[in-house]
Amino acid sequence: MNEPNIASCSPDSEGYYGRFGGAYIPEMLFPNVEELRTRYVEILEDESFRRDYELLLHDYVGRPTPLYFATRLSRRYGTRIYLKREDLCHTGAHKINNTVGQILLAQRLGKKRIIAETGAGQHGVATATVCALMGLECIVYMGEKDIARQAPNVARMRMLGATVVPATSGSKTLKDATNEAIRDWINHPSDTHYIIGSVVGPHPYPDLVARFQSVISAEMRKQLKEKEGTELPTHVLACVGGGSNAAGAFYHFIGEPAVQLVAVEAAGHGVESGRSAATTQLGTMGILHGSRSIVMQTADGQVVEPHSISAGLDYPGIGPLHACLFESGRARFLSATDDEALDAAFEVARLEGIIPALETGHAFAALPRLGLTESDRVIVCLSGRGDKDLATYMQRMSDV
């Protein structure tokens, strides 16, 4: 087994971050994954690829996103808090940083057809968007139950020209959609690229997606230098579902021991309630979606159905990078309950005039637990905007 770099948590050539990662895939998928594995670094480092990617990030996504000093929130917690405004990205969250990169990669690989799976529909919308941009066919697999629950995102994908295919097996949710997408990929090995939406899946996806999202921390360093005269915050906070916004926010700080990395998972009704998605607290080593990581599972290896009020965090695993950051102690993992995340989202709305995504509410909920002082410089990755969560927020207002 490979054990290098556990402290820095950078992947080796087989995609292992310490004990975690790798590619555990059915043999029939091997050619597809192997093509990606052997070509992604060379393509991403190519000068013309970089130019095309940076131009789209600038003109289409709207980067760089601001690093905003949150005056009233800072006063509330007696420290200096900056918000990295991924909510201002086109389509309303960080996910587009990855889909723009992957669509350019798919073009370089000569692919004509794009598939994706989606739970709440956020990644599906970000994928349908870049397929429309490039004129590529787009098929999004989505659990039948999720299609019923997430009608506005289904409508967005269809308006953008994507075909939304219901997954009707099992629990009719995300994991069934993932199975359908993998089946499709096996049946279309030469013309199809599968766009995975977080730092999960078989190698090279966790590294590929982390590289595309790393623009977040690259910008943070530059912007903090302009504002504070130093590139290094004392703390970086991000919520973790699969872990892509956190991976992007942490990426260029992992090798800086002075920077505390704080990942916040969804505790749902409470870590011990049986209705939670706090993977590092409840999980054990296992294989999920093609890589070895920490997984919420029963003693005999059945994946446990997770729960979070926020669809983007409702996932029973975390990417292998985060498993390594957790196990090595490089990042601190906390969790916030549904109620704590809701309260934090309302607090940010009322102190800053910014309605965050419910996912990001979890990151904000950790602020009071960090013992922050006046001399700290904290960056919260504001992963997305809250428009999609309005129904949940309305429910909250009628409850209290």
Ligand X SMILES: *Cc1c(COP(=O)(O)O)cnc(C)c1O
Residues serving a catalytic function are 95, 117, 383
Q: In angstroms, what is the minimal distance from the CB of 357 to ligand X?
A: 4
Which residues does residue 265 pair with via DSSP β-bridges, in sequence order? 335
Q: How many CB atoms lie within 10 A of CB 360?
A: 36
Measured CA to CA, the distance from residue 117 to residue 166 in angstroms comes to: 10
d(CA 367, CA 381): 12
Query: Between the CA of residue 127 and those of 117, 157, 199, 236, 371, what are the distances in Å?
Result: 9, 9, 15, 27, 39
Spatial distance between the Cα atoms of 110 and 107, rounded to a whole number of angstroms: 5
Structural tokens at position 320: 């292998």
Interacting positions 164-193 with ligand X (CB under 6 A): none
Measured from the CB atom, is 131 or 357 closer to ligand X? 357
For ligand X, which residue of 176, 338, 359, 376 counts as binding (CB under 6 A)? Answer: 359
- Residue with smallest beta-carbon separation from ligand X: 384
The nearer residue to ligand X, 80 or 89, going by C-beta atoms, is: 89
Stretches 73-81, 135-143, 168-176, 239-247: which one binds ligand X (CB under 6 A)? 239-247
- Using CB under 6 A as the binding rule, whether residue 279 contacts ligand X is answered as no
What whole-number distance in Å separates Cα of residue 339 and Cα of residue 70? 23
If the CB atoms of residues 87 and 176 are measured against ligand X, the closer one turns out to be 87
Phi/psi zone of residue 301: left (φ > 0), alpha (ψ -120 to 50 degrees), beta?
left
The stretch among 6-14, 178-186, 238-246, 263-271 that binds ligand X (CB under 6 A) is 238-246
Segment interacting with ligand X (CB under 6 A) among 19-27, 241-249, 330-338, 372-380? 241-249
Contact 360, 352 (CB under 8 A): no
320 makes contact with ligand X (CB under 6 A): no
Of 260, 203, 268, 270, nearest to 232 (Cα)? Answer: 260
Contacting ligand X (CB under 6 A), which of 143, 233, 312, 320? 312
Does residue number 122 form part of the binding site for ligand X (CB under 6 A)?
yes
Which of 292, 364, 384, 396 binds ligand X (CB under 6 A)? It is: 384
Omega into 316 within 30° of 0, i.e. cis?
no
Q: Which stretch binds ligand X (CB under 6 A): 58-66, 233-241, 277-285, 365-373?
A: 233-241
Smallest gap from Cβ 58 to ligand X, in A, equals 21
With CA atoms as reference, report the closest residue to 379 among 246, 186, 180.
246
d(CA 394, CA 17): 41
Tokens matching residue 399: 């409850």
In this complex, which beta carbon is closest to ligand X, that of residue 107 or of residue 214?
214
Residue 242 within binding range of ligand X, rule CB under 6 A: yes
Binding status of residue 240 toward ligand X by CB under 6 A: yes
Cβ neighbours, 10 Å, residue 349: 15
Q: Decide whether 80 or 101 has the Cβ nearer to ligand X.
A: 101
Closest CB to ligand X among 237 and 313?
313
Q: Which of residues 36-65 bind ligand X (CB under 6 A)?
A: none
Question: Applying CB under 6 A, which residues contact ligand X?
Answer: 93, 95, 122, 198, 239-246, 312-313, 357, 359-360, 383-384
